[in-house]
Amino acid sequence: MNNTLYMVIPCYNEQEVLSETAERLKAKFDSLIAQGKISPKSKIIFVNDGSKDQTWQIIRKLNHSSPLFGGMNLSRNQGHQNALLAGLMTVKEKADMVISMDADLQDDVDAIDGMVDKFLSGIDIVYGVRNNRKKDSFFKKMTAEAFYRLMNVMGANTVFNHADYRLMSKRALDGLSEFNEVNLFLRGIIPLVGYSSDTVFYERGTRFAGESKYPFRKMLSFAVEGITSLSTRPIRMITMLGFFIFLISIVMLIYSVVRYFMGATIPGWTTLMVSLWAIGGLILFSLGIVGEYIGKIYMETKRRPRFIIEEYLKEDENERNE
């Protein structure tokens, strides 16, 4: 039966929570193995994304303590999306299904059961979707939901209230490997892979320990990255905005000519200054958006590696590369 499950967990400065995460996941894997839902060859792989604390040392200890745990150490901090991709691409040849999850224990590990069940029923991609935001502050709830709505309006179609907690089959991972862009936004790329998909709803908890890696500033930057990586709609909006301003200028020209022949004095200073500032601001804003796309093209043409693995603690003691 093809039911080998690998979990890929990106880690950045997670020393406070990592041991608890490993303990809970080990209990879940033991339960699923006992039920015959997943193979005893199933593994949990922690990806250290250039942490500055003791995260990598803890991963090494976990690797030595149990054959269930493996570890990858990236050569430097590559960012969450690249760290996640590094894990997915490394384990895809060994696994029948791979679940990605953050290390902070906000994602409910019990949702793994539902994901595995859906995979065994023939589903290739299973999205973990939070069913409510009752535990979020008003500001967090407002900004998070605005994030998903903004992404969809701008053409970067995502699954609402889904982050990076998902199951992917080997076939889906092979499809993902065909996407070679350097500017990664996996929440938007994975729906483009296609294949059968479904959702598992769960209640997202509070962070077990440590600090959030996605404050509002970083979430806003993440949204810009996703929009400009997946959609050209902002550029089309600039075109429509330019056409709209052109129409306004025609109306103002007609108005000025009519007022001139009526012998009325045209108030000029305020109108002129407002027009200059408004159009100047729009030009700079438009140039900024175009610049984002040019910058992305520049980065893509360099074809720089998306990640470099410094060390991989393999699951078999005899295969370790240390």
Answer yes or no: do 211 and 282 share one domain. no
pLDDT at residue 320, rounded to an integer: 42
Q: Residue 318 has what pLDDT?
A: 40
Note whether 135 and 196 are same-domain residues: yes
Which is more confidently placed, 271 or 66?
A: 66
The amino acid sitting at 205 is G
Three-state secondary structure call for residue 277: helix
**Distances from the Cα of 297 to the Cαs of 27, 224, 225, 307, in angstroms?**
45, 15, 13, 19
| DSSP reduced 3-state for 167 | strand
Q: Could you tell me if 44 and 174 lie in one domain?
A: yes
Beginning with the edge strand found earlier in the chain, give each strand of the sheet holding 69-74 in spatial order: 197-202, 125-130, 162-169, 97-100, 5-11, 43-48, 69-74, 309-313
Check residues 125 and 154 and name the one with the higher pLDDT.
Answer: 125
Residues 193, 245 within the same domain: no
Does pLDDT of 246 surpass 80? no
If pLDDT is split at 50, 70 and 90, which confidence band does 176 have?
confident
In this structure, are 126 and 241 located in the same domain?
Answer: no
Is it the case that residue 210 has pLDDT exceeding 60?
Answer: no
More confident residue, 220 or 30: 30
Task: Check whether residue 55 and residue 179 sit in a common domain.
Answer: yes
The residue-averaged pLDDT of 197-217 equals 68
* Residue 205: partners with Cβ closer than 8 Å, 6 or more residues away: 105, 106, 108, 135
Residues in the chain: 322
Q: Are residues 129 and 242 in the same domain?
A: no
Give 97's pLDDT tier (boundaries 50, 70, 90).
very high
Same domain, 121 and 269: no
All residues at 6 or more sequence positions from 130 whose CB lies less than 8 Å from its CB, including other chains: 161, 162, 201, 202, 203, 204
Task: Please provide the average confidence, as pLDDT, over all residues in the chain.
Answer: 77
Q: What is the mean pLDDT of residues 12-20?
A: 88
Is residue 246 located within the same domain as residue 152?
Answer: no
Q: Identify the pLDDT of residue 178.
A: 84
**CATH at residue 226:** 3.90.550.10
Residue type, 196: S
Kindly report the CA angle at 222 between 302 and 124, in degrees rounded to 5? 85
Question: Where is 47: in which H helix or E strand?
Answer: strand 43-48
User: Do 226 and 238 share a domain, yes or no?
Assistant: no
**Reported confidence tier of residue 185, pLDDT bands at 50, 70, 90:** confident
Please check the confidence at residue 124 and state whether its pLDDT lies above 80: yes
- pLDDT for position 141: 65
Domain range spanning residue 166? 5-230+310-319
**By CB neighbour count within 10 A (0-12 exposed, 13-18 middle, 19+ buried), where does 255 fall?**
exposed
Asked whether residue 4 carries a pLDDT value surpassing 80, the answer given is yes
- Tally the domains of the chain: 2
Q: Does one domain contain both 119 and 238? A: no
Give the highest mean pLDDT range of 52-66, 238-252, 258-272: 52-66
Is a pLDDT exceeding 50 seen at residue 165?
A: yes
Q: Are the C-beta atoms of residues 127 and 157 closer than 8 Å to each other? A: no
- pLDDT at residue 129, as a whole number: 86
My answer on whether 12 and 132 are in the same domain is: yes
Q: In the prediction, which pLDDT does 98 show?
A: 93
